[in-house]
Amino acid sequence: MVGCLKLVGTGTWDTARLAAALAARDRAALGLNAPAQGLYFVEATYPNSREES
């Protein structure tokens, strides 16, 4: 996904091509894979529904 957004951001792809690649639901339709370096999940926080009621 990140690689495809890069292609849109650099003007190589337009948004219609990105939409078509996502709609294909096939990794072969995607244009670029970003390396798995530097991106990582840090934390998820959820509101306590009991306190907000």
Single-letter code of the amino acid located at 16: A
Q: How many domains does the chain have?
A: 1
- The answer to whether the predicted template modeling score (pTM) of the entire model surpasses 0.75 is no
- Distances in Å between the Cα of 47 and the Cα atoms of 41, 42, 51 are 19, 17, 8
Q: Tell me the pLDDT band of 52, cut-offs 50, 70 and 90.
A: low
Residues whose CB is less than 8 angstroms from the CB of residue 8 and which lie 6 or more positions away in sequence, other chains included: 14, 15, 17, 18
The pLDDT assigned to 51 comes to 63
Per the prediction, the chain carries an average pLDDT of 86
Query: Residue 22 is part of which domain span?
Result: 2-52
Q: Check whether 53 has a pLDDT greater than 70.
A: no
The pLDDT assigned to 9 comes to 93
